[in-house]
Structure 1
Amino acid sequence: MGSSYQTILATGDLAHVRAAVAVSQQEVVIIPVAEGRWAVVPMQKAGIYAETENLAELLSLAQGSVAASFDVFDSDVMVVKLFRDGRSYHEYLSDQAYLVELWDDDDNEILVDLLGRPYPPGLSAPSGAYGADPAMFAALGVEPIDEAQLDVALSRPELRAEEQHHAILHALNLDCGPLTTSFEKATASGLGV
């Protein structure tokens, strides 16, 4: 079993980050990862999964702010959703070929990727990353951003998901540790503000 965690990267003023967290009523740890960049690490429900999308929407509402929700699943796949003005503006999936089984209302098995896109029987999912556009991620980073390294990191599904996540954050010139950890480890770090 590999690593699984959910974190959020938020840009902007700490006061706005705290206000959005208060509205969400989620228990989180907020850790600075660069100037005007914050890791927001929510507590997992039942120690398993933390909801991040609604909080990322709230964090992106402040003028000029963007937020990204990161979901790493069992070291196999990573989903990133980028938000601005309270709405999603870009989605990234590290490996489109990673599918899960669901059942429709008639108990027919269907396969979906982790963005929720269905693949009916007989239709194969594409391989490789979806949404691997470095320009979409640029607003999350701080100068100097290594655009060439970011492009490579976004297009490398052969890496373990947490390694790929680390490479993306490194290319964005951010402190990777707080964004690639669990709530328990973030709390224990003592770095929360």
Structure 2
Amino acid sequence: MGSSYQTILAAGDLTDVRAAVTESGQRAVVVPVGERRWAVVPAPADGGYAETEELARLLSRPAGAVAAAFDVFDSDVVVARLFRDGRGYHDYLSEQSHHEEAWDDDDNEILFDMLGRPYPPGATLPTGPYGADPAAFVPLGVAPVDEVTLEAALAGPEPLAEVQHHRILRALNLRPGPLATTYDEAVAAGLGV
């Protein structure tokens, strides 16, 4: 098994970030990763998965705030859902051919990509990244954002998803470490504010 973690990148004031975490009711560690940029690392629920989307929505509600919920799954794929004004505005998936299997009411197999998009039996899944638009990610970064490097990082491919995630974060001019960690690791590092 590879690395898996769920984190949120929030751009905005620390007081707003703390208020959103409190409102969510989730336990989370908040770590600075750049000027007015915060890694929000939520505690996992039973099963080891940390829910991030609702907290990212809350973090993006204040004027001028944006947030990205990141999910790195088993070193295979990076999923990012970007939020502004409490609503999603962009989705990114590093590799569309990575999928999960499910069955419908008639016991037919259905494939879902990591964004939850369904594909009927026998369908050929697209390959490569989805949503690799650097302009969508720029508001999350700290100037100067290296858009050429960001575009290359989003396009991939990388053999390990966490390496690709680090490249994306570095291109945004952020410290990637706190955004590529688990809750337990973030607590142990003692960097929370």
- Letter matched to residue 36 of structure 1: R
Measure how far apart 1:47 and its partner are: 5.5
Q: How far apart in 1 are the matches of 2:45 and 2:32?
A: 24
Q: How does 1:55-134 map to 2 (within 5 A)?
A: 55-134=55-134
Q: 1:123 & 1:106 partners in 2: Cα distance?
A: 18
Cα deviations across residues 109-150 of structure 1 (Å, max 9, x unaligned)?
101101111111221011100000000000000011111100
Rounded Cα–Cα distance in structure 1 between residues aligned with 2:2 and 2:97: 18
After TM superposition, the structure 1 = structure 2 runs for residues 137-152 of structure 1, keeping only pairs within 5 Å, are 137-152=137-152
Mind listing any 5+ residue stretches in structure 2 that lack a counterpart?
none
Unaligned stretches of 5+ residues in structure 1: none
Instruction: Report how far residue 91 of structure 1 moved.
Output: 0.1
Q: Tell me the distance in 1 between the aligned counterparts of 2:82 and 2:3.
A: 22
CA distance in 2, matches of 1:152, 1:141: 16
Q: Deviations over 1:31-83 (max 9, x none)?
A: 00001000000001136100000000000000000000000000001110000
Q: What are the superposed Cα offsets for residues 80-109 of structure 1, whole Å, 9 maximum, x if unpaired?
A: 000000000000000000011011122211
Query: How is 1:19-34 mapped onto 2 (pairs within 5 angstroms)?
Result: 19-34=19-34
Q: Which residue of 2 aligns with 1:177?
A: 177
Secondary structure at 2:40 match in 1: strand
Q: Quick check: 1:158 aligned with 2:152? A: no
Secondary structure of 1:185's aligned partner:
helix
Aligned counterparts of 2:185 and 2:22: Cα–Cα separation in 1: 21
**CA distance in 2: counterparts of 1:188 and 1:164, whole angstroms:** 24
Q: RMSD in angstroms over aligned alpha carbons?
A: 0.8
Q: Secondary structure at the match of 1:46?
A: coil
Structure 2 counterpart of 1:166, which letter? H
Aligned equivalent of 2:44? 44
Which whole-Å deviations, capped at 9, do the CAs of 1:158-187 have from their partners, x for residues lacking one?
331100000000000001000000000000
Task: Tell me the amino acid that sits aligned with residue 54 of structure 2.
Answer: N
- The corresponding residue for 1:135 is 135
1:121, 1:184 → 2: CA distance?
A: 39
Question: Hey, what's the Cα distance between the residues in 1 that align with 2:56 and 2:120?
Answer: 31
Distance across 2 between alignment mates of 1:46 and 1:113: 23
Q: What letter corresponds to residue 128 of structure 2 in structure 1? A: G
- The ranges of structure 1 where at least 4 consecutive aligned residues each deviate by more than 6 angstroms after the TM superposition are none
SS for the counterpart of 1:128 is coil
Question: CA separation in 2, counterparts of 1:46 and 1:99?
Answer: 23
Letter in 2 for 1:49: Y
